[in-house]
Chains A and B, each alone.
Chain A
Amino acid sequence: MDTGVSGGGDEKAEFDPSEITYVSYGGEHHLPLIMNLVDQELSEPYSIFTYRYFVYLWPQLSFLAFHKEKCVGTVVCKMGEHRSTYRGYIAMLVVVKPYRGKGIATELVSRSIRVMQESGCEEVTLEAEVTNKGALALYGRLGFIRAKRLFRYYLNGVDAFRLKLLFPQPYIHPSLLMEAHEDSIRRSSSDTIEVSH
């Protein structure tokens, strides 16, 4: 959905990375902090129902970053079955401008991804604007590829990349995969084949 982690303007906060504490979503008291951050930093306006959808169903996937009791970053995610693949989805990732560029976003999203991996997800996905260089670099460093380009995905006409991270799977020799696939094609070749479009 949206990521706000690049740029930062002129004012930078002075802090040591060890001063940042990361907490898992703990309940309703965290919801206004998340909403304020996202409303302030990201362009897409979300209703409270959208936030509740994510944090109520997947509280273990949302994290907040604090610096001296001030909430400076958050990540909101979900996971579930999608076309026979169990996958995670990163909905929102934001760090306030003065705190950007110090690895807070990387740490937030890494924590979510680890929980997704431990929960059995096969892959993680999200969309990012093609112009959001900061987000693309961040996710690239974590191993995401640009799987697709989505033409005029956003209302302002900007394209998006669908980013995907595939977790290592148990190894199956490609020739076995190919054989199984060709066998299934041969078995079904007498049926009418519908051309995809």
Chain B
Amino acid sequence: MDHLLACEATWHKGHSLAQTVFSCIYLLRPERTTSHALLHSYSSVIRATCKAVISVVSDARTHEEEDLFTMMYGLNLNGEDEKCLSILNAVEETISRQLRACRALSARRKVLEDIEPLQNNPMLEEGYCRAILARLRFRKHFYHVLMCLKRPQGRGLQLARKHVASCISELKAIRELSGQHTACGGQTISEDRTTASGRQPVGFDASLNARLSAPTPPRSIKILSWSEAIEYFLKLLQDLDIISSCSLENSLDCVLHFVVQFQKSQPDLVARAHLQRLLLQDGKLFGREAIFSVISKAATLPEVVKNHDIEKMECVIQLGQLVINLLRILCANSAWQRRKLGKILQDWRVTYIQLELALRSKFGEPSGTPSGENICMNILKQLLVWVEEKVYWIASRFLMLGFELELYSTSEYGMVYWYIYVVSVKLVEKLHHRISISNRGKRVKCRGKKKRVPGKDATRDIQFSPTVLFLQSHICLAEGLTMMLAALRNEKMILESPTPFNSDQERFFQHFELLQKAGIPDHNSYQSFEGSTKNASLSMLAMYNHFKDAQRIAKEVKSSFSDDPERLSELRRIEQVAEHNSVALSLLCRVGDALDSSLKLSFEFSHHPHFATAVVRRS
């Protein structure tokens, strides 16, 4: 049982089914296990579980990883899935009775039933029963988790959470029982063991399916250890619990935020496939909301759009496909995700241009346009604003992922933060524009109901929403870091040796090629970067401290996110980065040219995964 769990975890981690789970002869020949109820039920539920997991990963088609994961090598996973649980329940009942009998015997009570022991040593029978029961229950609850998550439109999420909790409880019990056994036995067990007892598993042969693994015999692989397998499943269950706690809100911004937050825990393929299947079913969000409706809400389009023909426009249909594709990409592993985000920027740009052309060709000059067509024109204009905002959101995510994937070297931080600053400014501009249009629309609706206060509408337009201010704190940090790095370079406080074959310009172009090709941002280039940073100096930064601005904004906007622990946590991190960089900047301004070899300056990600903190240490 334990070795099979380790094989299953190894398979999930990227090795073939043939070399892992199906290295077990009992799974290859299930008909030969029917005489042994425990073995047969356990094998059946493993096969049913593997089938369910392959199904969800196949549906998700996250690319790259699932190519190997879903390969069946001609192995048969079909079985009587519906019966496997009932057989398992029956075996669980039998072993429960055996456990009760053991306990009765220990308490010197009379045993009412005559039950066959599971193994030969009466002293070990109780512990053995408990260990087997925990494993059976784990498999049962895990199978239920998969079945509940499979239910359409997220209907099984609540029940899935309960089964996840039971799974975690059983895994912890398995680990605890193993610890007790080891303590009693007193023997030292190797960390590489794939079973709790440390004994060699029976019925496994890694080369069983060698001939099925075309075209060449596979290399030998290392099965995860038993403790690694437990850790893997605990992590998987925690990730599935997060998915099951999804609020199913039809707001695209909420969904994007949820997915981005979820990805921070670096979930594995199986968890990510489940998330994608939950988000997108039958081309609808959560299987319920049509994508155009989702876009309408996100772009805060007027209610009349529901009965409008605009939904049938080719560029609008294309936009729907882009949103679906974006959600799929965001559920992929970070490395693949970043590559695809860079590539789809051009698709979004194309759709933006198509919408713009549709607007111009249909309506030309706005004056003299009949009121019905005015509505269509306004809808298209709002869609354009929203599409641009999303383009900058994707660009921002592309840049930030570079830090998580460690794609930037220290000498490149300056140009990266400059680009993040420029993209974020545009993102905030578009977001603020969209929110303003939406607020104006709401005020027009309420005009008949409330007295208008002269000048108050204008003031409301200028006030920034908490979301905008939240992003503004990022902008201040990015600008501060760009300027600090540029100043340090200009004042030769960080020395960078020239590279023999190319220069910063080539590296700039390579890092940001996909953004530049998509015109993000318009007409900006290496020359703009050079122009903005060539005169940066520490004395200039001392006069205008971007980090203090970031701190101030983060503090001010905290109260708006009092019920959002993730945003609060992010704001705290922003404050810490801003504070530490501000202190470092002051120190560097005082030290000036005296930054000698006794002091070492480095940039570390100790407080935030994307925004570096300058650290000055004695070397």
Contacts and interface: CB of A to CB of B under 8 A. Distances in A.
Contact of A195 (B325, B349, B409, B505): B325
B396 interface: no
A141 B502 contact: no
A77 interface: no
A167 B502 contact: yes
Given A146-B408, A149-B407, A195 B502 contact: no
A148 B357 contact: no
A141 B219 CA distance: 35
Interface in B495-528: 497, 499-503, 505-507, 509-511, 516-517, 519, 522-527
Contact of B507 (A145, A175, A193, A197): A145
B339 A143 contact: no
Nearest to A171: B505
Interface SS of B by simple majority = helix
A181 interface: yes
Contact of B335 (A150, A164, A166, A175): A150
B503 A168 contact: yes
Contact of B499 (A142, A193, A195): A142
Interface stretch (B151-159, B340-348, B467-475, B602-610): B340-348
Contact of B407 (A146, A169, A186, A195): A146
B333 interface: yes
B564 interface: no
Given A181-B517, A181-B519, A193 B501 contact: no
Given A140-B409, A149-B406, A197-B340, A113 B507 contact: no
A195 B14 contact: no
Interface string B382-424: 0000000000000000000000011111001000000000000
Interface residues of B, number: 55
B344 A157 contact: no
B182 interface: no
B507 A143 contact: yes
A168 B219 CA distance: 42
A143 B506 contact: yes
Contacts of B505: 168
B14 A185 contact: no
Contacts of A193: 318, 347, 350-351, 354
Nearest to A156: B222
A166 B322 contact: no
Contacts of A140: 409
A165 interface: yes
A159 to B, nearest CB: 7
Determine which residue in A143, A148, A196 has the highest number of CB atoms from chain B within 10 A of its CB, and name it: A143
| Range for the number of chain A residues in contact with chain B | 35 or more
Nearest to B502: A143
B69 to A, nearest CB: 11
B519 A178 contact: yes
Interface in B316-362: 318, 321-322, 325, 328-329, 333-336, 338-340, 343-344, 346-347, 349-351, 353-354, 357
Nearest to B509: A166
Contact of A147 (B497, B500, B502, B510): B510
Interface string A127-148: 0001000000000111101111
B510 to A, nearest CB: 5
Contact of B347 (A148, A182, A196): A196
A155 interface: yes
Contacts, number: 116
A24 interface: no
A92 B340 CA distance: 29
Contacts of B346: 196
A184 B333 CA distance: 32
Nearest to B528: A174
Contacts of A150: 335
Contacts of B510: 145, 147, 164, 166
B64 interface: yes
B494 to A, nearest CB: 15
Given A150-B335, A155-B219, A168 B506 contact: yes
B573 interface: no
Nearest to B314: A192
Contacts of A49: none
A157 B14 contact: yes
Nearest to A116: B501
B13 interface: yes
B501 A117 contact: yes
A15 interface: no
A161 interface: yes
A110 interface: yes
Contact of A167 (B64, B405, B501, B522): B501
B65 interface: yes
Given A149-B335, A152-B14, A166-B509, A174 B407 contact: no
Contacts of B333: 151
A177 B524 CA distance: 12
A165 B343 CA distance: 20
Contacts of A174: 516, 523-527
B175 to A, nearest CB: 24
A195 B412 CA distance: 32
Nearest to A153: B335
A97 B523 CA distance: 49
B312 to A, nearest CB: 15
Given A151-B64, A193-B350, 8 more contacts: A141-B499, A148-B338, A167-B502, A168-B502, A174-B526, A182-B519, A195-B344, A195-B347
29 contacts: A113-B501, A143-B503, A145-B507, A145-B511, A146-B408, A147-B407, A148-B339, A148-B407, A149-B335, A151-B64, A151-B336, A152-B65, A165-B502, A166-B502, A166-B509, A167-B501, A174-B516, A174-B523, A174-B525, A178-B523, A181-B519, A182-B353, A185-B350, A186-B353, A186-B357, A189-B353, A193-B351, A196-B343, A197-B328
Q: Which 4 A-B pairs have the closest CB atoms?
A: A143-B499, A174-B525, A149-B335, A166-B506
Interface of A: 110, 113, 117, 130, 140-143, 145-152, 155, 157, 159, 161, 164-169, 174-175, 177-178, 181-182, 185-186, 189, 193, 195-197
